[in-house]
Chains A and B, each alone.
Chain A
Amino acid sequence: VALTTPLRTPEAVTLAHAVVAEVAAAREIRVLFIKGPSAAWWGLREPRVSADVDVLVEPARLTELVDALADVGWHERQMPAVPRIVPLHSATLINASWSCDLDVHSCFPGIFAAATEAFDRMWESRAQMPIAGVTVPVPSRAMSACILALHDLRHPTSTRAVRELPRLVERVRDVLGADAVDEIAQAARLLRARTPLAPFLADIGVDVVEPDLSDVEERLWDQMVAERTSPSIAWLHALRRAPWHRRPAVLWAALTFVNPTDQDHGDPYTYRRLRYRVARLGRGVRGVGRVARQVRT
């Protein structure tokens, strides 16, 4: 009888929910599991294999939760410094023995209510999802739908978003029905996410008559979407913010940046990597003109 064996990804994702819930509960840290299995549990999409576990933590206790998870073997993935339009409020944790990541967020892009208020709203309407023989807290169906839609709307050109957002619309409108639509409209209002969610809300039959964001916030959302579509825009913002003497270094970092999660280019000494860097340089130079217009506007 074998007692130990490598974990498969679906097993790791399922059990990791229990691990995070256990660690958080032991320290009375409030967490909510988002996307992944909870989306299928709510009937917002078909079950599918996730590669990671996404968890929202009450904002003031992000570091505490990350430290607590380190105590049970989950450590932050080291990433190179990348400029961002909005500072990163999350951590990705990995464990060599587990074939999934833990993404711990203290806020979610597209939700413009103050992070603590947004979390409290989601916590008030939470449900308990059974998984791995335990139950874990998840946002309400409506809040979960808003988060899924925001995720897709922030990556509008990704293959996944192009495929899944229409399916989410279809499920909400045609399967879940009018009550669900009303709940989602209410959730979007509470989270101050109606403007980012406007295309989704329109598709499920909710009119966003008055925008709920200031011009600055609306522009910020546009930039967050652009950042995902064209990462060069974040580097340009970093370039503009840097003092003159630092700009050559920032420019060099921008043109030669290689995402360490891109497995095809992981070996620093291969010819393939050299070709990738040259191609990256070319893309960076060509992207400057295109995204500079977005920055100016």
Chain B
Amino acid sequence: VSATTTWSRAPRVAHVDSGDRVVVLPLDGLGPDTTPVALDGVAQIVWDVLDRSRTGAEIVAALGEINPDHGLTEADLAGFLDDLRAAGILVTS
């Protein structure tokens, strides 16, 4: 994960927290193939800590504080963040 890239929730997403998971739907470019994305476990924690913009380093630190045993490698996290960006759920600056 790039330590300096800043990650945020996309400004136009709908989301609902069911307790055991968060389901997120990008609203930009909404179409018949737009699919809600369910985030649970570590993925849900990542979503939660991005209630404000954070750099990659801050996300790693926050994950470690909330769940030291999360078991996610930095490569896994980088891939996950990229997937969410591609899905229109996160943005970088």
CB <8 Å contact, B32 and A71:
yes
Shortest CB–CB separation between residue B67 and chain A, in angstroms? 14
List of B residues within 8 angstroms of A8 by Cβ: 18
Complex Cα spacing A165 to B87, Å:
44
Interface status of A18 (Cβ within 8 A of chain B): yes
CB <8 Å contact, B37 and A3:
yes
Residues 1-52 of A at the B interface (beta carbon under 8 Å): 1-5, 7-8, 10-11, 14-15, 18-19, 22-23
A interface, by DSSP: helix, strand, loop or mixed? loop
CB <8 Å contact, A3 and B18:
no
Name B39's contact: one of A1, A22, A72 (CB within 8 Å). Answer: A1
List of B residues within 8 angstroms of A4 by Cβ: 35-38
Q: Which residue of B lies closest to A26 (CB)?
A: B30
Q: Which of B14, B21, B30, B43 has the most CB of A within 10 A?
A: B14
Shortest CB–CB separation between residue B61 and chain A, in angstroms? 20
Complex Cα spacing A134 to B13, Å:
8
Q: Which residue of A lies closest to B77 (CB)?
A: A1
Shortest CB–CB separation between residue B58 and chain A, in angstroms? 20
Name B15's contact: one of A7, A71, A73, A132 (CB within 8 Å). Answer: A132
Q: Which residue of B lies closest to A133 (CB)?
A: B15
Give the A interface residue count (CB, 8 A).
22
CB <8 Å contact, A1 and B32:
no
Shortest CB–CB separation between residue B20 and chain A, in angstroms? 10
With A15-B16, A19-B25, A134-B14 already in contact, the answer to whether A72 and B34 are too (CB < 8 A) is yes
CB <8 Å contact, B30 and A23:
yes
Q: Per-residue CB proximity of A103-119 to B under 8 Å, as 1/0?
A: 00000000000000000
Complex Cα spacing A4 to B89, Å:
13
Interface status of B27 (Cβ within 8 A of chain A): yes
Name A11's contact: one of B13, B23, B27, B40 (CB within 8 Å). Answer: B23
Q: Which residue of B lies closest to A74 (CB)?
A: B32
Q: Per-residue CB proximity of A72-84 to B under 8 Å, as 1/0?
A: 1100000000000
List of B residues within 8 angstroms of A22 by Cβ: 14, 27, 30
Complex Cα spacing A296 to B21, Å:
57
Name B32's contact: one of A2, A14, A18, A73 (CB within 8 Å). Answer: A73
A-B CB contact pairs (8 Å), 11 listed: A1-B83, A2-B38, A3-B37, A3-B83, A4-B36, A11-B16, A15-B16, A18-B14, A19-B25, A19-B27, A19-B30
Seen from chain A, the residues whose Cβ lies within 8 Å of a Cβ on chain B are: 1-5, 7-8, 10-11, 14-15, 18-19, 22-23, 71-73, 97, 132-134
List the 7 closest pairs (A to B, CB-CB), nearest first: A18-B14, A73-B32, A132-B14, A5-B38, A14-B16, A1-B43, A133-B15
